[in-house]
Amino acid sequence: MSYLNNIDISIYQKDMDIKKINSDLVIVEATHGLVKNPYFEELVKEVLGSKKKLGIYHVIDGKTSGAEEAFYFWKKVYDYKDKVTFILKWENESNLSIDYIEAFLNNFYKVSLQKCLVYADKAIDNDSLVDEYDFWIKGTKKITSKVVKKETTEEAKEIEKIEEIKKEVSKPTGKVIKSTAQDTSKSKKNNYKYNKK
């Protein structure tokens, strides 16, 4: 198994010369609680220009609600969807409840249809989270996961139908296509994508 050398960059490393970093993957902080890193776009632009792989993370702080933090994070990183892996940085010593963490992860998934990788200070003993999400424990190279690919759900099938309909409608056939398929906010697909640049 091969591993990527990586480094995470927050507001405190804003002056770092990314091109000179000996790293395959650069993970940039986008948000912390409900505060955006003011250098986020600038740092992302530098990473993409360096041809390194890009990850984007949110630091959860527990001051509002898991759902509110998830929606805020998604709003700030929406333009990079389908290009990167999104990461939740969880500092276990913050004593946040598992319910708060789970609310963030599940609500982020609802709006993005992508599952965050969880970067934590230490391993946790919670089957419901570990069964559904990948964990990367600080100080280790291994990503632990019990995630098993599941059969496509009815909701995911509806999303696929909608995408097919959109493709058909965009073709210059002159036909009008109607469907009873309803858009949904859930999918069981687990998407981890990096930029291809």
* Pick from 64-73, 88-97, 102-111: least confident: 88-97
Q: Is residue 193 part of a domain?
A: no
C-alpha distance from residue 126 to each of 97, 98, 138 (Å): 11, 8, 17
Mean pLDDT of the chain: 75
pLDDT in the model for residue 115? 92
Q: Is residue 96 part of a domain?
A: yes
Overall domain count for the chain: 1
> Nearest 5°: phi and psi at 143?
-100, 120
pLDDT for 111-151, tens place per residue? 999 999 998 877 676 666 777 888 877 766 555 543 333 33
- Residue partners of 47: CB distance under 8 A and separation at least 6: 18, 26, 28, 54
- Strand, coil or helix: 6: strand
Q: Which residue has the higher pLDDT, 62 or 7?
A: 62
The domain containing residue 64 runs over which residues? 6-144
**Over residues 167-179, mean pLDDT:** 50
Q: Is residue 32 part of a domain?
A: yes
Q: Is residue 171 part of a domain?
A: no
Instruction: Give the C-alpha separation, 15 to 36, whole Å.
Output: 17
Q: Is residue 84 part of a domain?
A: yes
C-alpha distance from residue 131 to each of 66, 87, 159 (Å): 19, 17, 24
Q: Is residue 80 part of a domain?
A: yes
Instruction: Give the C-alpha separation, 197 to 181, whole Å.
Output: 35
CATH number of the CATH domain containing 31: 3.20.20.80
Q: Is residue 36 part of a domain?
A: yes
What is the per-residue DSSP string for 129-176?
HHHHS-EEETT-SPEE------PPPHHHHHHHHHHHHHHHHHSTT---
Q: Is the pTM of this model over 0.75?
A: no
Instruction: Give the C-alpha separation, 140 to 149, whole Å.
Output: 24
Q: Is residue 112 part of a domain?
A: yes
| Nearest alpha-carbon partner for 158 in 132, 188, 133 | 188
pLDDT in the model for residue 127? 67
Q: Which residue has the higher pLDDT, 178 or 171?
A: 171
